[in-house]
Structure 1
Amino acid sequence: MEKTAEFFKKNPVDALGIGTFGPIDINPKSRTYGYILDTPKPGWSGTNVKGFFEKELGIPVVMTTDVNASCYGEYVAHGRDDSKSYFYATVGTGVGAGVVQGGKMLGLNNHPEMGHMLVRRYPGDDYEGHCPFHNDACVEGMAAGPSLEGRTGIPGEKLSRDNEVFTYSAYYIAQMLFNVYMTARPDVMIVGGSVLNEDDLVKVRKFFDEFNNNYVATPDLNELIVRPAVANNGSATLGDFELAKNLLK
């Protein structure tokens, strides 16, 4: 954080938006507001990120999760349509997700942890899962990047895209999307991150349709479940920038 503060001292801005890994405290009434809470990432638990940058830079700071920032960036990229709701999930080293409804992020005093939603096992998938909290019971434990190497012994980026482990990930992500759709009914569901590509989204849509089983009417799944509108993994950067601008209005 010290190096980041030094950068902005040399390149000053009027406000700062931060999207970070969680869990974090977003409750303005909490004594740990703006802190990173208990996290498996070494050295970060109990870090007052928001307070540090406010003190070092003397500017207003807004802080949210990385996936909330990405979701907000996609909301902006889709035209800031407050009549619609947007869901964003990233599938990388972990799985996280956020929702923007009416221009506001879901969660007043706490943020969602949808990556740890419980899922049922894909038939024939005997992987024990890698989540240290839920093992094989949650989306992250079964669908994130480490699960690919955990099943095969080969890093995901070196696997052939026709390897069945990508089908497994698509199955678990489709469950998450279906559960969110049944709960929040977002108008757009965006899937980012490095694990699934556009071809994998075809599988996600197929599994989503099977889970729905004609229960509720849905829009064209090619328009409902999409890749990010912001290129080069830039959704969070755009979201952080726009959240910082909001502080100056």
Structure 2
Amino acid sequence: MPDPADTITPPLLAGVELGGTKVVVLRAQGRKIVDRVMIATTGPDETLGHVATQLRRWQTDTPFAALGIASFGPLRLDRAAADFGHMLPTPKPGWTGADIYDTIAGALPCPAMIDTDVNGAALAEWRWGAGQEGDRPSDCLCYLTIGTGLGGGFALNGAAIHGAMHPELGHILIRRATGDDFAGACPFHGDCIEGLVSGPALARRFGVSGDRIDPRDPRWDHVAHDIAQLVGIVLLTTAARQVLIGGGVGMGRADLLDLVRAKLVAQLSGYLPFVTPQSVGQIVRTPALGEQAGPLGAVALALDALARG
């Protein structure tokens, strides 16, 4: 069956990428983004109100066929739950309990779908990016974002992974590097992986904002160790073929990614035969779609909503 994004007259779609610092509200013709509005993420009432107003304005002007919402989490994604589409307890002040789905999509006369931003990005990469670069589509792809927080999503045979919740890779506890005494920055768990390597965690660990950290600082070795631990857990538990690392930390330092790859190979000690010094560069890499993986994740969700009807 042809991808709806590749038809001769692609449908007009709307998408929302709701991040911790900014929101991207967009319209797309198929997968081509044709309009984009940026909104600062403040409190939920103000932020979601601006998003809903923009979408209603577009819907009145030229109706779109479906809406995709790719939001930071954690989210309730069980449609049978009373709080479907709500934000679950989050370190983001004021956002716990926010009704994301109904506030944005409730009044719109079109199908809509909500998922985490990282699940959306994983679907976009599977559909149009790294997942299509081999001889056949990747059957299991992981997308990690390391920035304001740390999140991870999966595309398994073209579908996002859901169960009791959605993947919450940011709060995994890893084996710490010898000699690393940084206490971590997560308000829930201290030294979970998000509390060790997210942007705010790096600022606390190094004492300066991320863009001012000396790339030669030896403490980067601990950061690379920690990220490699997470990637190893993903590969060992899910057999993912690719782990794409995006976000400001993930895409901002190529030297860090090289160090992560070397640490990963050493930590696995040859146990996974497909992870070698020669192959690791294709397994652990930046997203093929770059910074567009997030916005296109909302488009991918809109296409899935349209297909579901």
The reply on whether 1:192 has 2:237 as its aligned counterpart is no
What SS is found at the alignment partner of 2:142? strand
Deviations 1:55-105 (A, max 9, x none): 232322211111111111211223555552101111112111011110111
TM-score (norm: length of structure 2) = 0.76
The reply on whether 1:25 has 2:76 as its aligned counterpart is yes
Amino acid at match of 1:101: L
The reply on whether 1:166 has 2:225 as its aligned counterpart is no
Contact 2:70-2:301 at 8 Å conserved across structures? no
Amino acid at match of 2:305: L
The 1:115/1:185 distance shift into structure 2, 3 A limit, reads same
Distance 2:261 2:211 in 1: 23
**Counterpart in 2 of 1:204?**
260
Amino acid at match of 1:236: G
**Counterpart in 1 of 2:17?**
none
Aligned length: 247
**Counterpart in 2 of 1:227?**
286
**What is the correspondence of 1:119-158 to structure 2 with a 5 Å cutoff?**
119-136=174-191, 138-158=192-212
Residue 78 (structure 1) aligned to one of 119, 124, 130: 130
Residue 116 (structure 1) aligned to one of 171, 196, 218: 171
**Counterpart in 1 of 2:296?**
238
Q: Which segment drifts farther, 218-227 or 73-82? A: 73-82
**Counterpart in 1 of 2:39?**
none
What SS is found at the alignment partner of 2:220? helix
What SS is found at the alignment partner of 1:17? strand
Distance 1:152 1:55 in 2: 44
Contact 1:82-1:101 at 8 Å conserved across structures? no
**Counterpart in 1 of 2:23?**
none
Distance 2:131 2:73 in 1: 27
Distance 1:28 1:54 in 2: 14
RMSD of aligned residue pairs (Cα, Å): 1.6
The structure whose residues are more often strand, as a share, is 2
TM-score (norm: length of structure 1) = 0.93
Unaligned runs of 5+ in 2: 1-47
**Counterpart in 1 of 2:110?**
59
The reply on whether 1:102 has 2:142 as its aligned counterpart is no
Q: Which segment drifts farther, 44-53 or 62-71? A: 44-53
Amino acid at match of 2:205: R
Contact 2:149-2:199 at 8 Å conserved across structures? yes
**Counterpart in 2 of 1:14?**
65
Distance 2:208 2:74 in 1: 29
Contact 2:120-2:298 at 8 Å conserved across structures? yes
**Counterpart in 1 of 2:99?**
48
Distance 1:109 1:29 in 2: 12
